[in-house]
A = this chain, B = another copy of it.
């Protein structure tokens, strides 16, 4: 799975003063006089490989569970070489988190205040479910981080995410107030959508243990149908 790390390649490398260490890549952090040099092709290629491998390693075992050796192997290089590109395990971890975060938040940003409420919410549910299916590692990466107290994501939760959710909560509340939706707490509706969709990525082993390995497509289709039914009609038949 080739990713699009390219546009995200910045400040990952140690810069400091060192003579042999390259580079400050384009993007940020040019406060001091060091003139940023352009990233070489090799740098871009290797950082991509590293980030790519690191996502699956970190998603599998969390930050503490991952070893630098594993990370290097996943990137197909030696440990010192990996540490040439990312000065520490933590730096790498943060870089991966940062990258994945954007994708993670995107669907919620798409929620359109002017659209039809039911349609908007179903779309959001489907988009999140599709992310669980196509990029389960993203979801597991965050699940690990949050489950263990979000030591490095805490700031984001309090900042960007909080704003975004507040904003969308207002939209949902409006839909309730105008009678377009039943009266529910907007925040809990959002949690509800997160929980039900991410469950399929985060608890995939459990899901497949109960439903069988082979029926992955069917699993996600059935999940979408069930969620749609519940969201639109609830469990009780309308007489």
Which A residues lie at the B interface, using CB under 8 A? Answer: 60-62, 64-65, 117-118, 121, 140, 143-144, 146-150, 154, 157-158, 161-162, 165, 179-185, 187-189, 191-192, 194-196, 198-200, 202-203, 205-207, 209-211, 222-223, 225-227, 229-238
What are the 9 closest A-B residue pairs judged by CB atoms, nearest first? Answer: A234-B234, A195-B199, A188-B226, A157-B209, A64-B65, A195-B195, A233-B234, A184-B226, A185-B222
CA distance A188 to B206 in the complex (A): 12
Specify how many copies of this chain sit in the oligomer: 2
Please give, as numbers and ranges, the residues of chain B lying within 8 Å of A205 by CB-CB distance. Answer: 146, 149-150, 154, 157
- Are A191 and B199 in touch, CB under 8 angstroms? yes
Inter-chain contacts of A200 with B (CB < 8 A): 191
Check if B185 sits within 8 Å of A194, measured CB to CB.
no
A117, A148, A162: which has the most chain B beta carbons within 10 Å?
A148
Give Cα A183 to B61, complex, Å.
38
Q: How far is the CA of A214 from the CA of B60 in the complex (A)?
A: 33
Contact B64 A235 (CB under 8 A): no
Contact A146 B236 (CB under 8 A): no
